Structure 1
Amino acid sequence: MRWTIPNSLTVLRLLAAPGVAILFLYFHRPWADWLALALFVGAALTDWFDGYLARLWKQESKFGAMMDPIADKAMVVIAIMVITGYNGMNPWLILPATLIIFREVFVGGLREYLGAKSGLLKVTKLAKWKTTAQMIAIAVLFLGTGLDYLNVLALEGMTPEQHQAAVAAGEAEAIRTCGNRDCASYANLVGIWLLWVAAFLTVVTGWEYFVKSLPFLREDK
């Protein structure tokens, strides 16, 4: 392995994956949410840069080809676990998250079984869109968890009606709004919809990968 810039970016993205969860151990919320969002977005951007720079500088390598999907999957799976935990195990969130994690484990098992033959199954454009959709959805959901926590701090144990009265009396801070709704609910709603889109693409690409692998799974007669 050569420590080229593209390979270094891939390794940094892999190390950032557990960092997203570790931030919640050492920082109080909502700082943990904002730092996790920044780390996740920064790491997600390296997913585009490492491939682009590797092609531009002709530094594509077997190490990068192997580590790139591993780093992507580690980021997505760990971030989804953190988000589902801090969103109160919302069933509308758990189902697409389960589909995504199941697909990644299933395809990972297939790749391990196929070994060197898995290199013959090229990554499709739809698979790249799948990864992009996953990362955008997760980033929006991290934004939602941070805003949700700020809403909880603003309420300070009050009911929404009591909070509105306290805001009118100048005794409490108003909850951040985006039009007719609070910003947290918008972010969570958009994030969940995006995660469902990502889950759909994840299932489709997983099925495509399985179909392509069938010729390599046939028993020898």
Structure 2
Amino acid sequence: MWKQTSTIGRMLDPIADKLLVSAILLLLAADGTIAGWTLWAAIIILCREILVSGLREYLAELKVSVPVSRLAKWKTTAQMIALAFLLAGPAGDKIMPYVTETGIVLLWVSALLTLYTGWDYFKAGLKHVMD
């Protein structure tokens, strides 16, 4: 909206997003909100975040910048909305039916977007590594 950016903001924003998402996923898994097969969605998201962060660090040493795609921004948005629904949990179910189920569906949507955008970053990174 305001289109204001800074060097420190470009560095800290993805770190803050990753920390927030990781902490919430771990806490939701610990309290049993995310369980069974849905744990795989959380694992996919966590692994992608770690791998892409490592790739970005490596490429930064090569002075290569991989821009954040529009789809990656949508992925982050879907993750945040999913986590908000999951955090609302049983209390949210009393206000609006199927809050937890909606959160789980959105978490799987996020996991699929995570796989796709992770592959995009990996392909972009490989081009620079192979050169």
Q: 1:193 corresponds to which residue?
A: 105
Q: 1:105 corresponds to which residue?
A: 50
**Matching of residue 141 in structure 1 with residue 86 in structure 2:** yes
Q: Deviations over 1:46-65 (max 9, x none)?
A: xxxxxx33x2xxx4211111
Q: Distance in 2 between matches of 1:64 and 1:211?
A: 26
Report deviation, 1:115. 1.4
- Are the counterparts in 2 of residues 100 and 202 from structure 1 also a CA contact under 8 Å? yes
Q: Indicate the percent of aligned positions where both proteins have the same amino acid.
A: 45
Aligned residues: 130
Instruction: Give 1:73's match in structure 2, choosing from 4, 11, 18.
Output: 18
Whose Rg is larger? 1
Q: 1:204 corresponds to which residue?
A: 116
- Are the counterparts in 2 of residues 137 and 192 from structure 1 also a CA contact under 8 Å? yes
Report deviation, 1:212. 0.5
Cα distance change, pair 113–177 in 1 and its aligned pair in 2 (3 A): closer
Q: How does 1:40-189 map to 2 (within 5 A)?
A: 52-53=1-2, 55=3, 59-87=4-32, 90-115=35-60, 117-119=63-65, 121-146=66-91, 176=94, 183=97, 186-189=98-101
Q: Deviations over 1:4-43 (max 9, x none)?
A: xxxxxxxxxxxxxxxxxxxxxxxxxxxxxxxxxxxxxxxx
Cα distance change, pair 147–132 in 1 and its aligned pair in 2 (3 A): closer
CA RMSD between the two structures: 2.0
Gaps of at least 5 residues in structure 2 are: none
- Are the counterparts in 2 of residues 134 and 195 from structure 1 also a CA contact under 8 Å? yes
Q: Distance in 1 between matches of 2:75 and 2:5?
A: 22
3-state DSSP of counterpart to 2:67: coil
Report deviation, 1:86. 1.2
- Are the counterparts in 2 of residues 86 and 145 from structure 1 also a CA contact under 8 Å? no
Normalising by the residue count of structure 2, what TM-score does the alignment of the two structures yield?
A: 0.89
Q: Distance in 1 between matches of 2:92 and 2:7?
A: 41
Q: Distance in 2 between matches of 1:118 and 1:137?
A: 32
- Are the counterparts in 2 of residues 87 and 145 from structure 1 also a CA contact under 8 Å? no
Gaps of at least 5 residues in structure 1 are: 1-51, 149-175
